[in-house]
Structure formats: structure tokens, C-alpha cells
Amino acid sequence: MAKRPVSNEQSVPDFAHEARLRARGFELVAGVDEVGRGPLAGPVVAAAVILDPDHLPDGLNDSKKLTASVRERLFTEIMRHAHVAIASIPAARIDVINIRQATFEAMAGAVNGLAVRADFALIDGRDVPPLPCPAEALIGGDRRSLSIAAASIIAKVTRDRMMTLLAQTYPDYGFEKHMGYGTAKHLKALDLHGPTPLHRMSFAPLKHAETTTD
């Protein structure tokens, strides 16, 4: 059963939420986070991570507070010692079901994709998507829970890598730099070349624009 979201002013994540749940018998606690709700192009990506309490990577934090090199190092450590699953929802699907539902779908896909079944899930944000286990939403969870922070890193690094690869197919848009967000350079490229199949046509300013297949 989902619980109401909880919020506080904590700025450095710890393992307290996981320890509390483990003490209640929920041994396998998954942190869940997403990246890519706001961009004009590319997928929304979610990750679910069950950390090993005996191998907690040093320096875990909200992915937005870390440099790219630190995120890459932590990505490798998390993948080595934790149970990890990743799910993404492409732009075309986002346009059909809306970004909120696409985020829920990605989160559920990540949790369901874990090699082991999670006993409980800690979700970054205000809402809990339909999941196969009990869950709790934590506002600012990537700054409060090590498991959610780990998920934020996995999702961020994965999406950045995806956008960098996609930039090779669509080199005129600078995806490897802005990752699909609506920067001035991105908007200028849209004016010059029009949107690609990677763009979310339900997002302003893309509505009613023609799509290029170049």
C-alpha cells in the first residue's frame, strides 16, 4: 500500500530510511528515480537500485550535485555491487500517454526488471506508481536516501549516454551537450531543421511542428 510523501530539509543522503524498513522485515529495499521529465527530446529514463548494505559506494548523492566524472565512477561501483534495473519510455510513447504516466511506466518497468523482487520501494517525488511491492514517496528523495541517490546516478548516466549516441544520428541538434533540454542552441536548431522523431511533439513549442526524418 502506498504511503503519503514525506519531506524534510536533509541535504546529504543516508541509509536511515532503508535501515528503518529493513528493521521492519523489508530486507530488499529499492530506490527508484527518473531523469528526463523536462526535455523537449529523448526518452524519460528510470532506474531501480537495491544497494548492498555492506558495499555502499562512497560519495553517493543527488546526481545533479555531482560532476560527470564522479557520476561515471559511482555508476561503475553501483553496477558492480547492487541489483540494478533500468527502463526508458521514448518520446512517441510520452506523446500518447503524457509525461507523468510515462514516468510512472518507466519506474514500474525498472522495479519489475530487477533480478530479485524488491520487498519495498522508495520513490523520489510526491507520487507512487503502481508497483508489485509496497512503496513510499520521498520528496527530495535523492538528497535523503542513498538508494534513491544511486538510482538517480544510474538513470542520469544512462540517459546522458543515450543522448550522446543519438547525437551521432542527429548531429545538427547538439543533443550531446544539452541532452534534449530546451536550451537556446536547441531551440535555434529546431527553427533551422525542424523536429526529429526524438522530439516530444506534445511539448510546447513543438506542437503542430512538422517532423524531419533526416
Query: Is the pLDDT confidence value at 213 over 70?
Result: no
Mean pLDDT of 166-175: 97
Q: What is the pLDDT of residue 214?
A: 46
Average pLDDT over residues 44-66: 96
Express as a percent the part of the chain with pLDDT over 90: 90
Q: Kindly indicate the confidence band of residue 7, based on its pLDDT and cuts at 50, 70 and 90.
A: very low
pLDDT in tens, 95-152: 999 999 999 999 999 999 999 999 999 999 999 999 999 999 999 999 999 999 999 9
Please check whether the domain covering 3-167 is classified as CATH 3.30.420.10: yes
Assess whether pLDDT exceeds 80 at residue 10.
no
Task: Cell numbers for 26, please give them.
Answer: 523489508
Q: Confidence band (pLDDT; 50, 70, 90) for 184?
A: very high
Q: What does the pLDDT look like over 58-85, one tens digit per residue?
A: 999 999 999 999 999 999 999 999 999 9
pLDDT for 3 equals: 56
188 pLDDT band, cuts 50/70/90, is very high
**151 within 8 A of 48, measured Cβ to Cβ:** yes
- What are phi and psi for residue 69, nearest 5 degrees? -70, -40
Give residue 166's identity as a one-letter amino acid code.
L
Rounded to the nearest 10 degrees, the angle between the axes of helix 146-169 and helix 16-23 is 120
Element (H, E) at 31: strand 29-35
pTM of the entire predicted model? 0.92
Tell me the pLDDT of the chain averaged across its residues. 93
pLDDT tens sequence across 198-207 = 999 999 889 8
Q: Could you tell me if 41 and 198 are in contact, meaning their C-beta atoms sit under 8 angstroms apart?
A: yes
